[in-house]
Amino acid sequence: MNKFVGYRCSLCGEGYSPLEVTYTCPKDGGNLDVVLDYDALKNKYKPEDILSRSDPSLWRFLPLLPVQEPSRAATPLHVAGGTPVYRLRRLAARLGLQSLWLKDESRNPTASFKDRASAIVVARAQEISAEVVVTASTGNAGAALAGMAAAVGQRAIIFAPRSAPQAKVAQLLVFGAKVILVDGTYDDAFDLTVKAAEEFGWYCRNTGYNPFTAEGKKTAALEIWEWWEGAHEKWHEEVDADEDHVPLTIFVPVGDGNIISGLHKGFKDLYRLGWLPDVPRIIGVQAEGSAAISNAFHAGSEAIVPVSARTLADSISVDLPRDGVRAVRATKETGGTYVNVSDEEILQAIAELGTQGVFAEPAGAAAYAGLVKAAGSGVVGSEDPILVLNTGSGLKDVRAAMQAVQPAPIIEPTLEAVKQLL
Ligand SMILES: *Cc1c(COP(=O)(O)O)cnc(C)c1O
Ligand SMILES: [Zn+2]
């Protein structure tokens, strides 16, 4: 069965066949949605067929992905996806919420959500026999591409801003990618990557620009669907909810807007297959100093006006978001909204998540910071079931982590000194 039938432009609606285009709409530069053969999929599969697959990684959803099964031998790093969901009872109580969970994407192989996109893009690169895959990255997308490429012996080139956190640059280098640090912003690196890919014939993974990134990211929505199918009945009994289907509310940190639009795409795919009655409510969280998508949403517009981004959350520091239009729609079409958080609120969130055993990088903690704000202002109710995404590991940016906590005291190695301290 040929499940991948083409693309549709998110701006003008024009359709393209799979080999007709590679990146964005030739007419207006709009990002392309991957179109699957929903009728054929519906005829061939039931949810049970997919949920009974034994592969715990994101490849368990292969029937709904626009790539063929990558050969086992060629792709040892098959563990992207399948990330755990934790119940955060103490933080829920502190916020006056009944039910709060966190999906920990820091548990992906290179420690961020980006592994989902890179797994699918590298599978696509192998299908189209690309020699080199290149990406612009604030660090995580590059680490994910470099790691996945290293695992399958694919050549990778990464353009990152020279200000990228050390740990992320170390990952790129250790994975053996060609790393080029750009004396400029992520946006500068992005534009340069597109030009270089064109000039040298490289396959470009750039977030949003490459339609397969959202397809990889949608696998988190498929996992959330599967998890909530199993969890919501138990939850119903526990809280004694009367309604049959109380939709989940999901908090997502937003930079380029590709994670949030990928999640939305995943839920829309499930809805079109008739497998999901209620699409969850999606709430995007942006850093105050990098809020171009939030600005557009609150202006009731899809016109994304670039900002001059300033935030310590480097993974969501973006002047011109590359998936802004679809990111606005992800909240508008699901009854969600956008919340902005300050760097201080992000640091506070790192510390609070830490008290429940979750170590998040600043961008990852931003989603929780957004929930704190939303709970305080009535955007979510105390009875709403809520899922927060942590998109990246705190080990990615230790400098920021140290800003979130008090420094440890240093003492003489004597019992006397310990007594004095306590
Ligand atoms: C990339 C990234 C984000 C934001 O994803 P976008 O698709 O750019 O909106 C959030 N958190 C982390 C850790 C990331 O690496
Ligand atoms: Zn178009």
For the stretch 395-409, pLDDT in tens is 999 999 999 999 999
Mutate to test the pocket of ligand 1, among 256, 294, 361, 395 (most ligand atoms within 8 A of CB): 256
Q: What pLDDT, on the 0 to 100 scale, is given for residue 406?
A: 95
253 ligand 1 Cβ < 6 A: yes
Distance of CA 336 from the midpoint of ligand 1 (Å): 18
Rounded to 5°, angle at Cα 302 from 188 and 105: 65
Sequence letter at residue 249: T
**Mean pLDDT estimate for the chain:** 94
Q: Alpha-carbon torsion 146, 150, 153, 155, what sign?
A: positive
Examine the pLDDT at 76 and tell me if it is beyond 80. no
Three-state secondary-structure class, residue 407: coil
pLDDT on residue 73: 44
Is the pLDDT at 232 greater than 90? The verdict is no
Predicted local distance difference test score (pLDDT) of residue 387: 98
Average pLDDT for residues 151-160, to the nearest whole number?
94
Q: Is residue 187 exposed (0-12), middle (13-18) or buried (19+ Cβ within 10 Å)? A: buried
CB 128 within 8 A of CB 211: no
Does the pLDDT value for residue 36 go beyond 90?
A: yes
The verdict on the CB of residue 115 being under 6 Å from ligand 1 is no
Beta carbon of 216 within 6 Å of any ligand 1 atom = no
Does residue 78 have a pLDDT over 80? no
Query: Does the CB atom of residue 108 touch ligand 1 within 6 A?
Result: no
What distance in Å separates the CA atoms of residue 321 and residue 340, rounded to the nearest whole number?
15
The pLDDT assigned to 2 comes to 84
Write down the pLDDT at residue 80. 87
**Which ligand approaches the C-alpha of residue 113 most closely?**
1
Q: Residue 104 pLDDT > 50, yes or no?
A: yes
Ligand 1 lined by 362 (C-beta under 6 Å):
no
> Which ligand sits nearest to residue 338's alpha carbon?
1
Return the higher-pLDDT residue of 361 and 234.
361
Smallest CA separation from ligand 1 atom 2, residue: 315
